[in-house]
Amino acid sequence: MSENTLPTADELREEVRSWLRDNYQPLPRNTDPWVSSPERIAWLEKVLDAGYAVPTYPTEWFGRGYPNKLAKVIAEEFAAIKAPGACQDRYNIPANTTLALGTEKLKRDLLRPFLTERSRTCLLYSEPGAGSDLASVRTTATRDGDEWVVTGQKVWTSGAKTADYALLLARTDWDVPKHKGLSLFIMPMKQPGIEVRPLVQITGESHFNEVFINDAKLPHEYLLGEEGNGWRALQVALAYERSIMGDTNRGSRNKKADSLIDLARQYGKLDDPAIRGQLAKVVAMRELNRLNNARAKSSTTPGTSTSIMSLGKLAMSKILHTEAAMKTQIIGAEALLAGSENPVADDVNFLTLNAFFTSIGGGTDQIQRNIIGERVLGLPKEPEIDRDIPFREARRS
């Protein structure tokens, strides 16, 4: 779309507001974050057909070919009335990775279901012996004609129990160095040979799973990028994941302790100079992180990644831990309580425990520091004695 055919920001804003007035009704609350209700799916279909779901995508793939500055207008109008589904080109990991790297068949088969949540997805990356060092994965995909046969084990997989598809990182060549023998796929999850076992978290939830794969199959056309180029393809998917985790944080269960300022006011601590100083620090950290994430997104185009995303993810981890410590300090001895009869304390403790998710998921804080040091600050890389030898010769724990 040429510049002279684009609407102005004001024109687009009025268009989106009018469309939302005519079409949006608040949706029933989703009780399970890994299952989409029929009402939500129907709404996402409308958003996609209107061109608001992925406005920066090409028109042939449900978009409008808009620049980021116009997509931001759409996002603002949807956010103003808390309507979901707009501007998924900023956060939908499987759809964005598929658009950037998928075959024409893969995009035809799955792009729309991914954007409407008719097909839910999970991420099959980490393994028991390959968490921080993802390049050491041993789950193996072997070519068999027009299919790939996959065997291995994955762990810490969110949403695997209900997922229809997975982004799968697998080893396709054991005779080259570890980073060069990987490929990235989209694998159907509802098939024989895949067993999902829930893992109980410290919060009492079971969002994570371990996944056992035994001769599962996927079409060759579901390879993302070129065979052996999985490490580079993975960086595209990880960049979106880190961007999401750097932008957002999960709310509490009872919604009694989400706002740090409201909690301080409720407990009469807002006039405490020490509390006010810490509050100012957290507010400043959040604003700086917002600006940094905006900078990172403005410097990338679909299908590319930037190491600056690691700054946002690491910052959000620090923010969540700092806020959790402050909330514990504000409510004092009440933090020793728990359960539904103590909703504020229950929320504070939940948020404290759940903060560790951001410190681990999408790459640990330590990994983010390595990425920032090496790729943003230009510091020397850490030694890797197994980087340039065939993976089958690498020492294994």
Residue positions annotated with a catalytic role? 241
| Cα–Cα distance for residue pair 372/369, rounded to 1 Å | 5
Q: Residue 355 — φ and ψ, nearest 5°?
A: -60, -25
The packing angle between helices 9-23 and 38-50, to 10°, is 150
**Residue with token string 């067993």:** 195
Bridge partners, 216 (sequence order): 150
Q: How far, in Å, CA of 294 to CA of 13, rounded?
A: 20
> Nearest CA to 312 among 294, 298, 328?
294
CA distances 12 to 4, 31, 302, Å, are 14, 33, 22
The helix/strand/coil state of 390 is strand
Q: Provide the strand spans (E) within the chain.
A: 121-124, 140-144, 147-154, 165-171, 182-188, 194-199, 208-219, 223-224
Tokens of 10: 């004001």
Q: What angle do CA 112, 116, 121 make, to 5 degrees?
A: 85
